[in-house]
Amino acid sequence: MIIRIKHNLAPAALVVLMLVSMAQAGELGDLLQVALQHPQARAAASQVEAARALKDAATGRYFGSAALSAGWHNYEGQRVVGVYTPGTPGAPLISDRISQAGLAYSLPVDLFGVIAANRERAQYDLDAAELLARQQTLLKLHQTASAYLTLQALLKQREALAIYRQRIEATHSRIKKEVELGKAAGVDARYAESELARLIADEAVLNGALIQAQADLEEAGSREKFLPTRAGIHVPAWEDVTSDSTLPARIAQARREAARAQADESRQALLPSLSLDANYFRNIGGGDHRDTWALGGVVSLPLGMSQYRQADAQRLNARAAAEQSESAARDSARQLANLRAAYDSAAADALAMEKEVAYREQVAAVQGEMQRLGSQTLENLFRHERDLLDARFRLEQAKARAAATWSAAQVLTGLPTENYIARMDAK
């Protein structure tokens, strides 16, 4: 019976960091580096750049804002060009066609830290975006590595199936001759034929699993119909981390701080605000021009109910984000415990299967010789052969499961991508 390999294990998810050169990378390393150029990874990198631009925009509020303007108007009658103050010598300049061009500048004075809180929120949003980008990258690397591990296990299973098929075909050929010579019953030949048919069905299932894993790798960017050339499955050693240092917990922490800063910004915006203003305009009309300028300051205090209600909403959002941060840490601890248990279980299973394969190879060899000499039934021989095949399948499955579980844990812990590739592609 074929034990199917599940390569889509526990999900958990981009910053494209400096990687080792592809010339130094192994086969799996090459695939993982190609996966870093996946559209999903590039999209996450763009989101980081967008968050960085928003942070720069928040910092830019300290430098105020300026606006150039120009206008042209035709009036129903003549009007004063610029400003005329009674008592000024000379007649005012008037025209029914007046144009104006100038510059206005406003510089906020951050008395109560509104801009500082906005910039702090933008920084935490950037931190969260960078962590999310790393998570997305690691998730794509995990999907690629899991598909590769699946292919490795399936190829080893195909080798075991090929060996079993040779034995079945040899036994079937011998039984047919013995039936012809009257040394064996016809039922034995039919039993051998049924076992061969079952074997062919197993091969079809295995080939289907190969095609699915190849499609997963092709989606990640590998060439079509890729097959690994490295036979052995490498299982990295497990390293314990605290739940607070996992990516989901750190993302929740960044969002908690961003929500707190936004609540501070909304609360401080209820206080009076001060800005310094300056403008200069050239007013043209009536064949001449008049220049005007102004310097001053503006103090404003919001009195609308909506601002106060919005501040309350942001305060409640900050409280919810704090609760979510604690929840994320607990959930990360649960996931780490589950992954560690799955990793230890798979590693123990692989160790046990190595011993069982060695034992069953000896048993199958002895049973084969006994059946040839007529002291063992064909059914018992095939049962031992099938047990050997299942043990080999389970061995490869356990190795692939252990490696894929380690990979899934790195999506949770946030291992830097260059370290992930180096650990997975260890020679």
pTM summary value: 0.81
Q: If we measure between CA atoms, which residue out of 238, 171, 239 comes closest to residue 376?
A: 171
Name the one residue in this structure whose structure tokens are 């490869």.
Answer: 396
**CA-CA distance, 247 to 249, in Å (whole number)?**
5
**CA-CA distance, 36 to 29, in Å (whole number)?**
11
Residue 136 tokens, joined: 């997305």
Q: Distances from the Cα of 222 to the Cαs of 20, 234, 410, 419, in angstroms? A: 19, 20, 22, 21
- Cα(first)–Cα(last) distance of the chain, in Å? 32
Residue 382 tokens, joined: 């095939």
Mapped onto helix, strand or coil, the DSSP state of residue 301 is coil
Strand ranges of the sheet holding 94-109, from the earlier edge strand across to the other edge = 65-80, 94-109, 273-285, 288-300
Question: What is the per-residue burial (b if ≥16 Cβ within 10 Å, else e) of 164-185?
Answer: bbebbeebbeebbebbeeeebe
- What pLDDT was estimated at residue 17? 35
- What pLDDT was estimated at residue 82? 86
Q: If we measure between CA atoms, which residue out of 133, 45, 152, 239 comes closest to residue 425?
A: 152
**Per-residue tens of pLDDT for the chain, all 427 residues:** 334 444 333 333 333 333 333 444 589 999 999 999 999 999 999 999 999 999 999 999 999 999 999 999 999 999 999 888 887 777 888 999 999 999 999 999 999 999 999 999 999 999 999 999 999 999 999 999 999 999 999 999 998 888 888 888 887 787 777 777 776 667 777 878 888 888 889 899 999 999 999 999 999 888 888 999 887 899 999 999 999 999 999 999 999 999 999 999 999 999 999 999 999 999 999 888 889 999 999 999 988 889 899 999 999 999 999 999 999 999 999 999 999 999 999 999 999 999 998 988 888 788 777 767 766 677 777 788 888 888 989 999 999 999 999 999 999 999 999 999 999 987 6
DSSP code string of 319-384: HHHHHHHHHHHHHHHHHHHHHHHHHHHHHHHHHHHHHHHHHHHHHHHHHHHHHHTTSS-HHHHHHH
CB 172 within 8 A of CB 193: yes
**For the chain, percent helix, then strand, then coil, each to nearest 5?**
65, 15, 20
SS3 of 141-174: HHHHHHHHHHHHHHHHHHHHHHHHHHHHHHHHHH
Backbone torsions φ then ψ of 132, nearest 5 degrees: -65, -35
Residue 215 tokens, joined: 């499609």
CB atoms within 10 A of CB 362: 10
Mapped onto helix, strand or coil, the DSSP state of residue 112 is coil
Eight-state DSSP code of residue 21:
-
CA angle in degrees (0–180, nearest 5) for 342-9-147: 120
Mapped onto helix, strand or coil, the DSSP state of residue 392 is helix
**CA-CA distance, 81 to 292, in Å (whole number)?**
10
Residue 117 tokens, joined: 């809180």
CB 256 within 8 A of CB 327: no
